[in-house]
Structure 1
Amino acid sequence: MNSETDSARLNAMVSTAGYGEAAEALAEQYESVAFSEVHREVLHLFPSRPSSVLDVGAGSGRDAAALAARGHRVVAAEPTAELRALGLRLHAGQEIEWVDDALPELPELTSQERRFDLILLTAVWMHLDEGQRTSAMACLVSLLESKGRVILSLRHGPVPAGRRMFLLSAEETISLARSNGLVVVHEARREDPHGRPGVAWTYLGFQLDVAIAGQPAVPYVG
């Protein structure tokens, strides 16, 4: 194992502190709300035809399974071993490629030079500190196909005990995305789908700006 992989694993352990011990309860919580409800604000941003999708921080596999059922080729990146095991068991009937990988570098997928039409980050971004977010955004862009999209959610509200989270704004995230060649295609705020008091979410959709490469920007058809 090289130093880059060692560093990535250490970052993942810090960012996901508390998730392994609570994996069973978390999986039950995640699976209690349907994919279509969690992502109702951004459903129109998902490709309408079979595409390559990366689910970063896939958790129990709820989203990965729903996307695979829609015909997409899904890679589920989840650094917490307990959640990966639960995801494999809960969604054993779905064609999902599970990988042990994590932001900010996603070293496994990056080393394979993988490319995706859509990258999904559900309740992930708030676990990264400022420096990690800078590295992570560049990493995500490097994994996108031409006109590829990134959909992510930002958590607002109190931080649960024992968890590592940062309070983030949509403005900061949009600015970082733009500096990496992404354009905003959607922004919406909503209440917590799990009904937790004081918790809300901002959903952001970004698309790789092909105009940067000297080509005219065209609508994404999926």
Structure 2
Amino acid sequence: MTNTPRALPPTRWELAGERNRGYGETFAQRVAEGADVDGEARLVDALAPRGARILDIGSGMGRVSAALRARGHRVVATEPDPALRAQSEATYPDLVVLPHEALALDPSEVGPFDLVAVVGNVMVYLGEDTERRVLERVRELLAPDGRAVIGFHLTALKAGSRTYPADEFVADATAAGLRVVHRFGSYELHEPNDEYAVWVLEPESGPGQA
């Protein structure tokens, strides 16, 4: 399962420690109260073929993966944080979650995927200077006609997160062999803004290319 030729630095999420411990519990409470927490999953579902093979990187407490499974997709969830995996198991006991970071996933063992989701601010909590490597791994995990959905706050707002400007992300994605197909300001497809970005990407040699 692992493919880590270089040691992985600690993620910003890990370094934030206890400051992020309420995330899983907060969303579990919202699920229990019947709140709508499926915004990301609805967009991913709309972009994927029926019964798609989908990878959810940084699946957190499992809400996106669970919603996609309920829509008939074949989902592989991966979350390195033990506390979030425990919350996921408690909230969605039928959802299997791998304990791997993105860079520890071996494409030859787990890929390819019709769609890779990297939502919930995962990109702004990666280890320092690993963003481009993670995007390269996303490309390697995609089927030739696959797509990725990536969403994050452009400006650091929460404990331990980084500011990741849009132009820097596009440069990293391009260097990783990914092409920006769409950019939105939310999972409900609002116009792009300076606060939050939702990107749809495909491999540079994807169906939109000659």
TM-score, scaled to structure 2: 0.78
Equivalent residue runs for 1:171-190 within 5 Å: 171-190=167-186
Tell me what 2:131 maps to. 133
**Aligned residues of 2:147 and 2:201 also touching (Cα < 8 A):** yes
Aligned match of 1:208: 203
Secondary structure of 2:138's aligned partner: helix
* Partner Cα separation in structure 2 for residue 15 and residue 133 of structure 1: 16
Counterpart in the other structure of 1:66: 67
1:29-40 residue pairs with structure 2 within 5 A? 31=31, 32-35=35-38, 37-38=39-40
**Which ranges of 4 or more aligned residues in structure 1 deviate by more than 2 Å?**
4-34, 37-40, 42-46, 108-114, 156-160, 215-218
What is the CA–CA distance in structure 1 between the aligned matches of 2:77 and 2:20, rounded to whole Å? 17
* Matched letter for residue 156 of structure 1: L
Runs of 5+ in structure 2 lacking a partner?
A: 188-193
- 1:80 is the counterpart of 2:72: no
Say whether residues 1:116 and 2:113 are aligned partners: yes
After superposition, what is the alpha-carbon deviation per residue over 1:124-183, rounded to whole angstroms, capped at 9, x for unaligned?
A: 0011356211211111111111111111112134533xx221101222212221222222
**1:52-71 CA-partner distances (Å, limit 9, x unpaired):** 11101101111001111111
Question: What are the residue-to-residue correspondences of 1:140-219 with 2, within 5 Å?
Answer: 140-160=138-158, 163-190=159-186, 200-210=195-205, 217=209
Q: After the TM superposition, which of the residue ranges 11-20 and 165-174 deviates more from structure 2?
A: 11-20
Residues matched between the structures, number: 199
- Does the CA-based 8 Å contact 2:183-2:198 persist in structure 1? yes
CA distance, structure 1, for counterparts of residue 9 and residue 100 of structure 2: 8
Is 2:55–2:116's contact at 8 Å kept on the other side of the alignment?
yes
Q: CA deviation at 1:85?
A: 1.6
Relative distance call for 1:39 and 1:113 in structure 2 (3 A) is closer
Tell me by how many angstroms 1:47 deviates: 0.8
Output the TM-score relative to the length of structure 1.
Answer: 0.74
The Cα of 1:216 is off from its aligned counterpart by 7.2
Q: What amino acid is aligned across from residue 167 of structure 1 in structure 2?
A: T
| Structure-2 change in CA distance of 1:29 and 1:137 (3 Å) | farther
The answer for unaligned runs of 5 or more in structure 1 is 192-198
Identity of aligned residues (%): 22
What is the alpha-carbon root mean square deviation over aligned residues? Answer: 3.3
